[in-house]
Amino acid sequence: MKKHFFLLFSLCLLLFSCGDNKIPEGEIEYIISYPHSDVSGFMEHILPETMTLTFKGSKVKSQIARGKIFKTEVVSDEADNSIEMRLDFGDKIFYCVLNEEEVKKLKDSQPTYDVTETGKADSVQGMWSKEYTVNSNDTIDHDNAWFTEDLAPQSAYFYSSYHDIKGLPLVFDIERYGIIMHLEATKFIRREVKEEEFNRDPALEEVSFDEYEAEVQELFDILMN
């Protein structure tokens, strides 16, 4: 009897030790730089400097803002490949919910990267991460990217140029709307994330995906010129 009990206990211990130990929720702060742009004068005072990424399970909210001047958010869920995009800029307070075809359109519009694992791994803000080289068809030299698999989201940027990379990016480039942002995680906060943190502001007006893209493109055209 004791032998059977010992075997059962050992089996339970093995099962629990092999469980999923991903961090279920939290917040990451990033610093943004513009290594491929001449950021000076007016642009220096208005371009966003930080991004905050909040996650809970498979849900992710990426928020880029500059004070009270403007704010953009992308709320995604890798469980069903859903995406909602939001903009708050002066009198332009919009959101759009992408359908399946529009998600594919967004994904197809991203620059094509050749992303290759280097075999190097290290801790980035306390999260074990893998390094990847990033190459594109243009003349731009991209910095290496770092992704972690320690967190609950495992396909966090399924709609981006990194859609084939497992995990969540901690060091990476975002190339969209005619500008390249380089982001590096500066802080990870392990905290309880409430569902309402993903809710949109009721003041936002719904527009089509094409209208939203045009508005955000106009915003970045203003910022860069």
Question: In this structure, which amino acid lies at residue 70?
Answer: F
**Strands across the sheet containing 50-56:** 113-124, 127-136, 145-148, 168-176, 179-189, 25-33, 50-56, 59-66, 70-77, 82-89, 92-97, 205-206
pLDDT per position as a tens digit, 163-188: 999 999 999 999 988 889 999 999 99
Q: How far is CA 76 from the centre of its chain?
A: 9
Over the stretch 127-166, which tens digit does the pLDDT of each residue have? 999 999 999 887 688 899 999 999 999 999 999 999 999 9
pLDDT averaged over every residue in the chain: 88
pTM for the model: 0.87
Residue 95 pLDDT more than 60?
yes
Q: Give the domains, in start order, of the chain with CATH numbers.
A: 23-224 (2.50.20.10)
Burial class of residue 143, CB neighbours in 10 A (0-12, 13-18, 19+): middle
In this model, does residue 191 exceed pLDDT 90? Answer: yes
Average pLDDT (178-204) is 96
- For the segment 84-109, the average pLDDT, to the nearest whole number, is 95
